[in-house]
Amino acid sequence: MRTFNLFTVILSLSFFVSSFNRIENNTLHKNANKISSYNSDNDDVKENISNDFFKRYSDLKKYKSDIMSLYKHRSLGSIWHDENEINEFGTVLYEKAKQTNDLNIPYQTEIDKLFDNSSENGLSKTDADMLLSSLYIVYAQKNISDSKKKVSYDTMLKDFLNYSTIEGATASTSADVKVQYDQYYKLEDVLKKYKKMDRSHKWKAIVPEETPYKDLRPDAVSSTIAQVRNHLYLMGDLKNDSKSNVYDRELMDAVMKYKVRNGFKPNYILSEEHIQEMNTPLSEKMQTLKLNMERCRTIAAQMANSDEYVLVNVPSYELIYVKNGKVQMTSPVFVGAPLTKTTIFNGEIDRIVFSPYWTVPQSIVQNELKSKIAADPNYLTEKNMEIVNGQVRQKPGPDNSLGLVKFMFPNPDDIYMHDTPSKTLFDFEKRTFSHGCINVKMAKELAVAMLKDYPEWTQAKIDKAMDGKIENSFKLTKKVPIYICYFTSMVNENGEIGFFKDVYEKDAELSKELSVALEQ
């Protein structure tokens, strides 16, 4: 409960600060028509604007002097808008007003429409801004403390914009709630971008021209292509929207960028699955971003301060190796199947084992090998296996199920990372094949990168150790932290957001946990 509430407070605070810094004096509109210019000292213009507004919104006349006082030092410039859109500060005011009991809001229907993405409100920015200013006055009157009753609304608004009350309340605990993992703030930036896009009404669902849908490939001509083009432009995969219906070279590059960042197979085919993913409502994507921001809180602080670590993200099937604060390499992985899920936990890699034996877990022997051995007396020999001290193990070699190198980090679930001879499995988009361990496509490259600080481990020595003949175990003098994580959205090193399949259905679990915590 405490963690979630503080998370909400900090997120709201960041919205206030960022919005306040961006507020500018903008030219106002009268109804739908733009006022070409006016001088800030022209009292007649200001009076005409206010008279016109309060004539049409007569129930607000009693608040006229208070509302106009908010614009006293803003030359009637907007308070609640960033360019032509309501800023986050206006959004939070609206949410706080809705949560205030017994608050009588004049013209509530018109104000509600400002925040209803499915409704065209038809209001000018001038009207919308002054309606929100009236909402602020009503809200302030309801929540004003006795000690501030003699303070002007304009002064209170400045305090409200700075949000000094929340800053003071959280000052003593800010060190406790600061998120160390910078992924949190990267996701937060994307969330702000999506909120702004949601308010702009520019995002539209793609309606395929083809019925039933047929895969779209380069050189195809279809109205669906133009819609995809617009979507990828809004998402940042495409620099310009030519509005062309032709699947051209420019769109091919954008599709590839979209697929790579979202974990799809890197090709130019646009299947129905891709259209469905693109049509995921922004509201759902924003909820996913919030859930993964919350997950960032569980990342141990030492990871953010560590100069070297390995991060495995299960939903994206990817390993990231970081050293000296920079990503040294990434590699595709495959992970545990739904019935044998890879455990989400932190550990420390303390050994690298070259040309390893594979001691087959007893559960696999009982459930899979026992019947095969009984049916075929030569099964063990053909699979390069032997029985030692009552346990079945596979000898080192290129066909060993662990490949030619494994990375050990002690844990109660006996999970480790390793190479694999089954390289073709990395061609699949959904890679949940293992019994829980993490299979690394670029295992050799990872070993080479991790051993750069060990001069005795030359490339030649590593190659010999990985010849598949004799097991060779090396204990690291400096353990390397490993974090097996579960992020269904993540910002990569290029600043690109990716959304990944919730393969273990953990998003729903976390959302439920947070809802329960909020109700307590």
Over the stretch 448-487, which tens digit does the pLDDT of each residue have?
999 999 999 999 999 999 999 999 999 999 999 999 999 9
Average pLDDT over residues 138-165: 67
Instruction: Specify the pLDDT at position 160.
Output: 64
Q: What is the pLDDT of residues 86-101, one digit of tens each?
A: 776 777 788 788 778 7
Q: Which of 81, 231, 274, 418 is catalytic?
A: 418
418 is an active site residue: yes
d(CA 48, CA 439): 71
Average pLDDT over residues 55-70: 90
pTM of the model: 0.68
Cβ atoms of 376 and 494 within 8 Å: the answer is no
Q: Which of 81, 274, 437, 485 is catalytic?
A: 437
Query: Would you give the distance in Å from CA 261 to the centre of its chain?
Result: 12
User: Phi, psi at residue 390, to the nearest 5°?
Assistant: 80, 0
Is the pLDDT at 162 greater than 60, yes or no? no
Residue 156: which H helix or E strand, with range? helix 153-162
**Burial of 51 (C-beta count, 10 Å sphere; 0-12/13-18/19+):** exposed
Residue 261: which H helix or E strand, with range? helix 249-261
Which residues touch 235 (CB under 8 Å, ≥6 apart)? 258
Q: What is the pLDDT of residues 280-331, one digit of tens each?
A: 999 999 999 999 999 998 786 667 678 899 999 999 999 999 999 899 999 9
**Closest Cα to residue 268, out of 252, 245, 251, 254?**
252
d(CA 476, CA 447): 11
485 is an active site residue: no
Residue % of the chain over a pLDDT of 90: 58
* Residue 298 tokens, joined: 């569980």
Q: What is the pLDDT of residues 315-325, one digit of tens each?
A: 999 999 999 98
Which residues touch 455 (CB under 8 Å, ≥6 apart)? none
**Closest Cα to residue 486, out of 323, 335, 305, 330?**
335
Instruction: Specify the pLDDT at position 5.
Output: 42
Print burial letters for 432-456: b (CB count within 10 Å at least 16), e (below 16). Answer: bbbbbbbbbbbbbebbbebbeeeee
Beta partners for residue 346, in sequence order: 483
